[in-house]
Chains A and B, each alone.
Chain A
Amino acid sequence: GAVVSQHPSWVICKSGTSVKIECRSLDFQATTMFWYRQFPKQSLMLMATSNEGSKATYEQGVEKDKFLINHASLTLSTLTVTSAHPEDSSFYICSDDAGPNYGYTFGSGTRLTVV
């Protein structure tokens, strides 16, 4: 099956700094990837759809200038949290877009803590 590698698994940063999270498809070409955010005790919330070679599509309420998504190649999508604040502390997860008749593969997640 597909393998999605997400890095780092956890990161602690100071308020006001930026953090980049990488999501790699190891054995397939991903034209589309998804980014989710999950707060403690809550479900996953879709943040944006990352499209290779074009701009990402953001869900309503997600600030595109704060959460920068780059999908420059078919194997790498990145999410950069700019000027991070404590309220951005969360669990960030990426996934591929397998299509309706296939199971989606998720990254292992990145725990971001902003202090």
Chain B
Amino acid sequence: DAKTTQPNSMESNEEEPVHLPCNHSTISGTDYIHWYRQLPSQGPEYVIHGLTSNVNNRMASLAIAEDRKSSTLILHRATLRDAAVYYCILRGGSNYKLTFGKGTLLTVNP
């Protein structure tokens, strides 16, 4: 499985933008980049995913590098409810499994 590398933790202030990086230098051409987040004692929640182009949805934006070896999840205005562990995962076309790494623990300060 192609692996991803994320910082262990990041800190942000409420109502400020947050950029969560993810490196995936061994990504293959058919791998989609998925982002999920997990609040304490809850199952993960889908945030966003993309293949090559940048993506926007109501929760966040996903910026994908031109060579696809890295991506950045952007929360435009962090709220206290955004405090969670964020996972960046590669989901290949032929490999249906999601392999979770350690993720990034995002702390949002009031």
A104 touches B46 (CB 8 A): yes
- Whether A6 contacts B43 by the Cβ 8 Å rule is yes
- In contact, A93 and B44 (Cβ under 8 angstroms): yes
Which of chain B's residues have a CB closer than 8 A to the CB of A49? 96-97
Return chain B residues, CB-CB under 8 Å to A109: 41-43
Chain B residues whose CB sits within 8 angstroms of the CB of A43 once the complex forms: 87, 100-103
Question: How long is the Cα–Cα vector from A62 to B93 in the complex, in angstroms?
Answer: 25
Number of B residues near A (Cβ < 8 Å) is 26
Q: Which among B45, B46, B47, B99 has the highest number of chain A CB atoms within 10 Å?
A: B46
Pairwise interchain contact A101-B44, C-beta atoms closer than 8 A: no
Chain B residues 1-51 with CB under 8 Å of chain A are 30, 32, 34, 36, 41-49, 51
Main secondary structure on B side of the interface with A:
loop
Q: Which of B45, B91, B101, B103 contacts A100 (CB 8 A)?
A: B91
Give Cα A33–Cα B98 distance, bound, in whole angstroms: 12
- Taking residues whose C-beta sits less than 8 angstroms from the other chain, chain A's interface range is 20 to 34
A108 touches B32 (CB 8 A): no
CB contacts between A and B, total, < 8 Å: 63
A window 90-115: CB within 8 A of B: 91, 93-95, 97, 99-109, 111
Contacts A46-B99, A100-B96, A106-B43 supplied; 6 other A-B pairs, CB < 8 Å: A34-B97, A43-B100, A44-B100, A103-B46, A107-B43, A109-B42
Residues on B close to A: CB < 8 A? 30, 32, 34, 36, 41-49, 51, 87, 91-93, 96-103
A32 interface residue, CB < 8 Å from B? yes
Q: How far is the CB of B97 from chain A (nearest CB, A)?
A: 6
A75 CA to B3 CA in the complex, in Å?
32
Q: In the complex, what residue of chain B is closest to A106 when comparing beta carbons? A: B43
The 8 A-B residue pairs with the shortest CB-CB distance in the complex, in nearest-first order: A103-B46, A106-B43, A44-B100, A43-B100, A109-B43, A100-B32, A93-B43, A106-B44
Please tell me if the beta carbons of A44 and B49 are within 8 angstroms of each other in the complex: no
Q: How far is the CA of A74 from the CA of B41 in the complex (A)?
A: 27
Smallest CB separation, A49 vs chain B (Å): 7
